[in-house]
């Protein structure tokens, strides 16, 4: 069975605008974030998902609720879709010149070490696999998923590592833009990028 998965990052929040790292903390959508969520709903309507899942964090639920006004599907939240926990950096500025930026960047050079209390990349990958496994056991064929930037970046890194033959040049290498959609499918136990 093949499942088409449309994964999107939540709309812009107050903290995104201020370059403050949210992790599993929250801040509300900005007016731009509300517009992005509406546009996301229009995009998703064209893709015709049969169900919509969201992280249980407020910014993702707010985005999904707005986008779902175009879809009218039952909205289901899932804890595995939560953003990476950034430990002591949550709520801190991550502008390039901030004192916390070098520590934030260590998540890339030390993905499986807990830097400043951060959740490891390995743990986030396990949550991603858990969610996809649960999806595969349902009778779903086209699914919209609203989640978070670092979650999506880690998913793409995982795909690059497991894919040696297909073109991965269009996969994300950084945190995606707010409202950005990634199209994947789950086929025969593998996630494939489109």
Q: Is 10 among the residues known to form the active site?
A: yes
Nearest to 10 by CA among 59, 45, 46: 59
**Residue of 10, 85, 148, 193 marked active site:** 10
**Residue of 4, 83, 121, 157 marked active site:** 83
Q: Is 183 among the residues known to form the active site?
A: no
Q: Which residues are catalytic?
A: 10, 83
């Amino acid at each position: 069975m093949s499942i088409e998965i449309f994964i999107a990052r939540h709309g812009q929040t107050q903290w995104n605008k201020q370059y403050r790292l949210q992790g599993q903390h929250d801040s509300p959508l900005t007016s731009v974030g509300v517009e992005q969520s509406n546009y996301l709903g229009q995009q998703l309507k064209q893709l015709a998902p049969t169900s919509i899942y969201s992280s249980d964090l407020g910014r993702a639920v707010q985005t999904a609720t707005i986008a779902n006004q175009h879809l009218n599907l039952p909205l289901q939240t899932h804890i595995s879709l939560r953003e990476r926990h950034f430990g002591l950096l949550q709520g801190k500025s991550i502008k390039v010149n901030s004192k916390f930026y070098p520590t934030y960047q260590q998540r890339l050079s030390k993905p499986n070490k807990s830097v400043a209390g951060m959740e490891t990349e390995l743990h986030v990958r396990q949550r991603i696999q858990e969610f996809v496994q649960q999806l595969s056991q349902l009778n779903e064929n086209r699914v919209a998923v609203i989640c978070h930037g670092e979650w999506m970046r880690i998913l793409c890194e995982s795909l690059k590592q497991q894919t040696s033959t297909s073109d991965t040049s269009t996969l994300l290498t950084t945190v995606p833009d707010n409202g950005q959609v990634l199209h994947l499918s789950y086929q025969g136990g593998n996630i494939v990028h489109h």
